[in-house]
Structure 1
Amino acid sequence: MCRIHGYFNTTATPRELTEVAALQRHGGPDGTGYVTGPGWGIGNNRLALVDPEGGRQPYRFGDRVHAVFNGEIYNHDALRRRLAQKGHTFTDRCDGSIIPALYAEYGDAFVDELDGMYAIAVLDSRGARPRLLLATDHIGMKPLYYHWDAAARALYFASEIPALLGFPGLAARTRPQGLDAYLATKTPFGQQTMLSGVTVLPPATTLTCRPGQAPRIVTRAAPDPVPRLPDDRRAVGSRLRGTLRHEVGRLLTADAPVAVITSGGLDSSLVTALAAEHRPVHSFNIAYRGRWPFDERHHARSVAEHTGTVHHQVEIDPAELPVLIEQTVAHLGQPNADPITVSTHALFAAVRAAGFKAALTGDAADEVFGGYTRMRAAAEADADGRPWTAAYLDQLGVLPARLRHRLYTDAYRADAVATSPLPATALDALTQGPGSALERITEFELRHRLPAYHLRRVDHLTMAHSVEARLPFCQRGVLALGRALPDRLRIHGGQVKTSLYAAAAGLLPHGVLGRPKQPFTLPVSAMLTPGTPLWEYARDTLAPARLTARGELRPGVVNGLFTRQAQHPDDITAATLWALLVHGVWRDRIAAARPLGVAA
């Protein structure tokens, strides 16, 4: 696990490369390195989990092929044996050291041989002109951001937005339609970010570039297709359990301590139970001091006792929320409206403080197996012949379109409504793609929402503390089974994740299997009340003078939200104020010209 960065068809000094690396050193404190050539340079920061004594980056094949890598390659031993049979030699057993030889053998198709999570950069200078290749994994577990300067034909890239902005001449400029996209989907989807000129490379994508030419981008096909599974809940549940058991076992392998995250819900509890079958593990749960709604600590404790883990209960003082929000926004580089971001940030600080460099989580199970109530509502509406798209899209956001437009000034509203907050390709896939409504929704969630909304925040907020998140539900074998499910084994009879519940049967306490779904987050509606540090912080960040200066939001309407929350608190009002607060913190950092990755 590492952080990578580089430039192509332009110049940067060694000092400038070092400064870019320093902006993401938290994601790779165990080593750093770079290599440069005429018009190019690539570098990395390393978090050592496999072969700590070896694996120094940049990797190379001869003197003309160099590579840097962020992630984990789980089938590296098998690939190393195959490459050795072809005459390649290796001086260590680090997973990433096979990449240059694999590229030399298979060219751009080398990524098809990889099973893991990754963002990779390969610089090939064997021909008359150098060539840069960037590649992301099948689902987007390891983000990669880039800036293409069309006028100069120059490209810059980095694992984090603040590091990308550390290259000379790159500035943080807000995207005019960014606020509406943010409120519509809680963070921008697709290749767009909240900043003009900063693009994120989509999942399963290979970008290649030669001097003087625009980047060429190719989307790769989904790996490991599986024929449609039979409509047999017990048989599919058994097969899914076996696949998950195998993947969890693989992901526990490292030359550093690995923990598990246990929220107390189905997904992370199942991962915890399967991990405990392989070996003794430590589990972590987060809660906030005091008595709050949705406190899951007793469910997590029940799972820990049932599975025999060494359990760690992390407690955060709600008075720390203003500082935590500042730190969280700084590490994300752009706003994400889900309060779970703050919980994630605080939780993984504790994971690292306890001595762990990697942790398994339950992220992505809802997208793969049909776990959201909005999915159920859309499937039921479609079965009844009722329209469902508008209601489904409204549930993706902080608040419905008709309500969020009331927040805007006249000038900003005119600008916002002229552009769809969702990429056209995403909307087309949702409304016009093949298959049933639930199949289209599943693909939309996996291809568009999961990478943007979940995986980027998981990556940034775990690596902020030098911890690698490992995601069993994102592994190729699990995703293939999820995509092959008939609708009845996703959602049936009002129950979501029917196949996953079948896989978990007998492994978890009844209190976990029988409880209703709830989010792993913090109770904003209860915490955002007059007199608390969070309330005062929000009032100051969203003060009328600040909103007027930005020109996007109507101060009177925002003030009305505070009045309503004080008198008659509700979840929508609280979520809106939280989202506006997070956006305001992000905008203030830009206005103050502070590096986005440096906490105040």
Structure 2
Amino acid sequence: MCGIAGWYLPAGSAPGAAALKAMTDRIAHRGPDGEGALLATSPDGAWQGALGHRRLAIIDLSTGDQPMHYTAPDGRRLSIVFNGEVYNFQALRTELAALGHAFRTTSDTEVVLAAHAEWGPGSAERLRGMFAHIIWEHEQGRMTVVRDRFGKKPVFLARRPEGGFYCASEIKALLSAPGVEARLDRSVLPHYLNYRYVPGPHTFFEGIEKLPPASIAVCEGGEVTVSRYWTTPDSRVEPRAAGGDPVAAFMDKLQEAVSLRMIADVPFGAFLSGGIDSSAIVALMSRVSGPPVNTFSVGFAEGEYSELGYARQIAGQFGTRHHELEVSADTLMDWLPELIGFRDAPVAEPSDIPIHLLSAEARKSVKMVLTGEGSDEILAGYPKHRAERHAARYHALMPGVLHEGLVRPVVAALPYRFRRIKTLFDSLSERDVRDRFPRWFGVLGPKALARLLKAGIEPAGLDPTPFEVREGASPLRRLQHFDQTSWLPDNLLERGDRMTMAASIEARMPFMDHELAELVASLPDDCRIRGGEDKWLLREGMRRILPREILERPKVGFRVPVNEWFRTTMRDWVRDHLAGADSRSAVFYEGTELARILDDHEQGRQNHEKLIWTLVTLELFLRRYALNP
């Protein structure tokens, strides 16, 4: 895992080596083990390519420095900066060697270069892993930027009016580049307040965009062309009857995904929450690991919010070398401004803070961890997935007028402990599946958003990719396609990358293996949800391995008690930040509606903790980056 940066700009106006170093210095946390740079000019002298790198050494510690250079069998020269890991690089290396390619290192990076030389940009389709890289082809004067299928590794672009672009792993590196200014894009605010993240390709910054997952950007002669090389299997794969033993096939592929991600030349471990996902990963790691697996868990000192006991149970069962971190809830907010700086965006979830603290603790012992991220999105593990299967039936039985006149008033009066029921019926109120998707996890529906935001803030156009599925796809697959093309890359994976890399530690996600996703998509929907049980394939596969109480635990997540804080100790702090004289975000909101939201929460009439957190972290983000509304 590393940090990369670069540019493709007119040679006469391109900045020099000092500017490139300034960009890579801003992402030094992504690669504290080394740095490197390359400045090159196109054969006609018109364009300059730059590659900058910060290295976190995981594989081939002695000869894996970057930028790495390669000469193809036909004499063409290529250079690369690479972030991530390719888990099938050894098989690809054997295939390429048979085609005449010679290698001087044992790193996956050199294999990526040779693959590009042999198969061109389409070589990305052959890579199994998580990656983002920039390749410069010297004889062609051409730059290619590639991002992995699910968007596990980030790449941002800042296109230039004179042609070409800057690119980097994180936005902060782009903001260090000459001519790139930090200006707020107001058009993303409605989406942020609705989704709690900014859907790609947009960002909070004008002129800075995300390279979408599974995409390739090619720049030659100043023209930038972006194309996709893969789409989620849920959007295109027709399920077939589950022949043979689907559970055995799934578990074999998951074990393979885990084993591949244990290839490293440094100490590694796993994050362990005690839920089924991370427990399954630890169990499968223990099968193939020689020494005990290092496991890391975080919990609150306040027992009410701690799940450390479940993690201890799994650690004891598999004999791991277990590490625990206890944090005090009332100290978490001290970290928020710093983590917003690492995130280059508001911190969308309070749980991101303890995840970063756990990453920093784990970094004392290891440089890489496996995690259970992605299981819910691949295997249908959220309550919304079970509910979406019945949306059409609900609409047939409950016409809109009955829902509005009968169901909505009753649901609105329910106390907070029934919040999942409220979310369910709020979501089902939408007849159009595209409108229903964000209601499952958003904090404001269209009407509430219109009441809160002042007139004149027009939303940015959304990328249609999350809604493009094959004709006849089930509602469940439509929702999971949305999860995998929007929720995952623009929120969950982005947050995970920043919180771990801020501590200079690499996180690998076996459930996000694209071959595993292809297998799951080929099976009927009832292999995901059966008899009301979600993630059926995983639960069945682990039934004889994990304790029953772990298998049947309801999804909890890492809860931070901001609900209570916003009513008590942080009440005045919240009001000052959102409505005080120094507030930067107050100009976005209708004052009476904001006051009503805060009053309702403080008086216990409603629980608006997610919305208030969303508003507060937006305000802190604006202050951190001195963004004028």
TM-score clears 0.5: yes
Within 2, Cα distance between the matches of 1:554 and 1:369?
41
Rate the CA distance shift 1:133–1:470 in 2: closer, same or farther, 3 A. Answer: same
Within 2, Cα distance between the matches of 1:66 and 1:25?
21
Rate the CA distance shift 1:401–1:289 in 2: closer, same or farther, 3 A. Answer: farther
Rate the CA distance shift 1:569–1:261 in 2: closer, same or farther, 3 A. Answer: farther
State yes or no: 1:429 paired with 2:468: yes
Within 2, Cα distance between the matches of 1:569 and 1:315?
32
SS of 2:468's equivalent in the other structure is: helix
Within 2, Cα distance between the matches of 1:229 and 1:500?
19
8 Å CA contact retained: 1:59, 1:66: yes
Q: Which moved more, 1:326-335 or 1:515-524?
A: 515-524
Within 1, Cα distance between the matches of 2:494 and 2:127?
20
Q: Which residue of 2 aligns with 1:583?
A: 618
Within 1, Cα distance between the matches of 2:448 and 2:556?
25
Aligned residue type for 1:439 = R
State yes or no: 1:443 paired with 2:481: yes
Within 1, Cα distance between the matches of 2:286 and 2:566?
38
Q: RMSD of the TM alignment (CA)?
A: 2.3
8 Å CA contact retained: 1:343, 1:521: no
Query: Alpha-carbon deviation of 1:383?
Result: 4.2
Q: Which residue of 1 aligns with 2:438?
A: 393
Q: Which residue of 1 aligns with 2:520?
A: 482
Q: Which moved more, 1:299-308 or 1:471-480?
A: 299-308
Taking the TM superposition and a 5 Å limit, the aligned residue runs for 1:90-489 are 90-127=103-140, 130-149=141-160, 151-213=161-223, 215-222=224-231, 228-231=239-242, 235-279=245-289, 280-293=292-305, 295-353=306-364, 355-386=365-396, 387=431, 389=433, 390-412=435-457, 415-416=458-459, 419=460, 422-426=462-466, 428-429=467-468, 433-489=471-527
Q: Which residue of 1 aligns with 2:34?
A: 31
**Percent identity for Structure 1 against Structure 2:** 30
State yes or no: 1:541 paired with 2:577: yes
Rate the CA distance shift 1:433–1:47 in 2: closer, same or farther, 3 A. Answer: farther
Within 1, Cα distance between the matches of 2:169 and 2:382?
30
Query: Alpha-carbon deviation of 1:192?
Result: 1.0
1:62-106: per-residue Cα shift (whole Å, max 9, x none)? 383211100001111222222223333222211112222222211
Aligned residue type for 1:506 = R
Q: Which residue of 1 aligns with 2:589?
A: 553
8 Å CA contact retained: 2:529, 2:535: yes
Within 2, Cα distance between the matches of 1:375 and 1:322?
32
Query: Alpha-carbon deviation of 1:240?
Result: 1.2
Q: Which moved more, 1:388-397 or 1:444-453?
A: 388-397
SS of 1:496's equivalent in the other structure is: coil
- Structure 2, unpaired ranges of 5+: 42-47, 397-430
Within 2, Cα distance between the matches of 1:438 and 1:565?
34
Aligned residue type for 1:125 = H
Query: Alpha-carbon deviation of 1:35?
Result: 0.5
SS of 2:179's equivalent in the other structure is: coil
Rate the CA distance shift 1:277–1:383 in 2: closer, same or farther, 3 A. Answer: farther
Rate the CA distance shift 1:537–1:322 in 2: closer, same or farther, 3 A. Answer: farther
Equivalent of residue 51 in structure 1, options 29, 54, 60: 60
Q: Which residue of 1 aligns with 2:401?
A: none
Q: Which moved more, 1:256-265 or 1:283-292?
A: 283-292
Equivalent of residue 51 in structure 2, options 8, 33, 42: 42
8 Å CA contact retained: 1:394, 1:401: no
Query: Alpha-carbon deviation of 1:318?
Result: 2.0
Q: Which residue of 1 aligns with 2:8?
A: 8
Query: Alpha-carbon deviation of 1:535?
Result: 4.4
Aligned residue type for 1:238 = A
8 Å CA contact retained: 1:339, 1:522: yes
Rate the CA distance shift 1:521–1:220 in 2: closer, same or farther, 3 A. Answer: farther
8 Å CA contact retained: 2:577, 2:616: yes
Q: Which moved more, 1:542-551 or 1:115-124?
A: 542-551
Aligned residue type for 2:267 = P
Within 2, Cα distance between the matches of 1:231 and 1:468?
36
SS of 1:142's equivalent in the other structure is: coil
8 Å CA contact retained: 2:36, 2:53: yes
1:277-328: per-residue Cα shift (whole Å, max 9, x none)? 22221111111222434x3222212221222212212111223222221122
SS of 2:176's equivalent in the other structure is: coil
8 Å CA contact retained: 1:548, 1:555: no
Within 2, Cα distance between the matches of 1:366 and 1:318?
27
Q: Give the TM-score, by structure 1 length.
A: 0.91
Within 1, Cα distance between the matches of 2:584 and 2:367?
44
SS of 1:9's equivalent in the other structure is: strand
Within 2, Cα distance between the matches of 1:74 and 1:549?
44
State yes or no: 1:505 paired with 2:516: no
Within 1, Cα distance between the matches of 2:605 and 2:19?
49
SS of 1:121's equivalent in the other structure is: strand
